[in-house]
């Protein structure tokens, strides 16, 4: 009886082990199939070697200036930068005089005046970038019901960051067979779902750069992505500079602390303690 019970117990354990193994394999296969289906529905942007992606690399400020020009002449017609002021451009992409001139091109509502009326005045450095639409309802009415997102933190708000923005701008193509788009929609494999309300915003020579750089589509996308990276993290260069200083100081202090620790504890760690038992007289 004992032998039979042991045999049944061993068989039960083997059956449970086999069941667990098959369940695990089945779960792994189902997970991989789900991931393959998701990969077909959304194309993930590959990583690009940005000039500012290294731990000690700063942003390309010439590219920031060109990217601002792309935003001003192309993107600003629909997208806002509500958290960026003209004063933020000073010392980064423009001089103070240039930033003042950029601000004065826009009109800002101010007041009240002496008669209690609101009035329009030329922009100042302290003014934030003007919105293309007075409210979300007006933005939706002008864009087939879609509200263009604010671009101030778009790089941080999207999975993939500047890689996603770059490939989205360059990824417009004809929809594959079997995908139907509604009126006013465009196909972009990098956009979740593929159907995007925004048409292709940039193409070759859509603008002319002030510095003479060839305005190819890839160059336009690269520059505006660098500009949007700066708008999302204006402290980018300062953060890396402070990190280099902090790590240098920590390295010096670490070496000094190690020497001090060895100096203070060497006497204690190098001593020997002997136990001499007390000898009692018989």
- Give per-10-residue mean pLDDT for the chain (282 aa): 54 79 81 62 85 93 97 96 96 96 93 89 94 94 92 96 96 90 91 92 94 96 98 96 95 93 86 82 70
Q: Are 164 and 158 in contact (CB under 8 A)?
A: yes
Question: What's 174's DSSP letter?
Answer: P
Q: What is the largest CA-CA distance in the chain?
A: 117
pLDDT of residue 67: 97
Q: How far is CA 9 from CA 14, 16, 206, in A?
A: 9, 11, 77
Which residue in the block uniquely carries the two structure tokens 């930033």? 99
What is the number of other CB atoms lying within 10 angstroms of the CB of residue 1? 5
pTM over 0.85: no
- Look at residue 282 in the predicted model and tell me its pLDDT: 65
Whether 123 and 103 have beta carbons less than 8 Å apart is answered as yes
d(CA 161, CA 245): 27
Query: pLDDT digit string (tens) for 189-221?
Result: 999 989 999 999 999 999 999 999 999 999 999
Beta strand segments in 144-185, E: none
Are 154 and 83 within 8 A, CB to CB?
no
pLDDT confidence of residue 99: 97
User: What is the structure's pLDDT at 2?
Assistant: 46
Which pairs from 104-108 meet CB under 8 Å and 24+ separation? 106/130
CA neighbours within 13 Å on the CB side: how many for 278?
Answer: 2
- For position 184, what pLDDT does the model report? 87
Residue 1 confidence (pLDDT)? 46
Residues 185, 197 contacting (CB under 8 angstroms):
yes
Task: Give the three-class secondary structure for 122.
Answer: strand
- Cβ neighbours, 10 Å, residue 81: 24
The pLDDT of residue 87: 97
Please give the pLDDT value at position 267: 84
Phi/psi for 211 (5° steps) reads -90, 5
Using only C-alpha atoms, the chain has a radius of gyration, in whole angstroms, of 32
Question: Collapsing DSSP states into helix, strand and coil, what is residue 195?
Answer: strand
């Amino acid at each position: 009886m004992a032998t039979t019970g042991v045999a049944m117990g061993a068989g039960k354990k083997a059956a449970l082990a086999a069941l667990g193994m098959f369940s695990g394999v089945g779960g792994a296969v189902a997970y991989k199939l789900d991931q393959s289906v998701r990969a077909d529905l959304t194309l993930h942007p590959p990583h690009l070697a940005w000039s500012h992606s290294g731990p000690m690399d700063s942003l390309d400020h010439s590219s920031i200036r060109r990217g601002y020009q792309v935003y001003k002449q192309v993107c600003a017609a629909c997208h806002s930068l509500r958290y960026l002021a003209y004063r933020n451009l000073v010392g980064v992409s423009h001089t103070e005089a240039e930033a003042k001139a950029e601000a004065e091109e826009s009109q800002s509502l101010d007041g009240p005046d002496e008669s209690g009326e609101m009035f329009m005045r030329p922009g100042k450095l302290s003014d934030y970038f003007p919105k293309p639409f007075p409210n979300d309802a007006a933005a939706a009415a002008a864009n087939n019901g879609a509200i263009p997102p604010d671009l101030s933190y778009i790089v941080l708000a999207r999975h993939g960051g500047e890689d996603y923005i770059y490939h989205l701008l360059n990824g417009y193509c004809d929809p594959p067979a079997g995908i139907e788009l509604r009126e006013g929609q465009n196909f972009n494999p990098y956009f979740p779902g593929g159907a995007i309300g925004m048409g292709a915003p940039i193409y070759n020579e859509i603008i002319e750069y002030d510095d003479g750089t060839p305005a190819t589509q890839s160059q336009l996308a690269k520059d505006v992505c660098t500009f949007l990276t700066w708008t999302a993290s204006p402290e980018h260069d300062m953060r890396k500079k402070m990190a280099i200083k902090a790590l240098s100081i920590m390295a010096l202090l670490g070496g000094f602390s190690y020497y001090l620790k060895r100096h203070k504890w060497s006497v204690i760690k190098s001593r020997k303690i002997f136990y001499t038992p007390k000898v009692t007289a018989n």
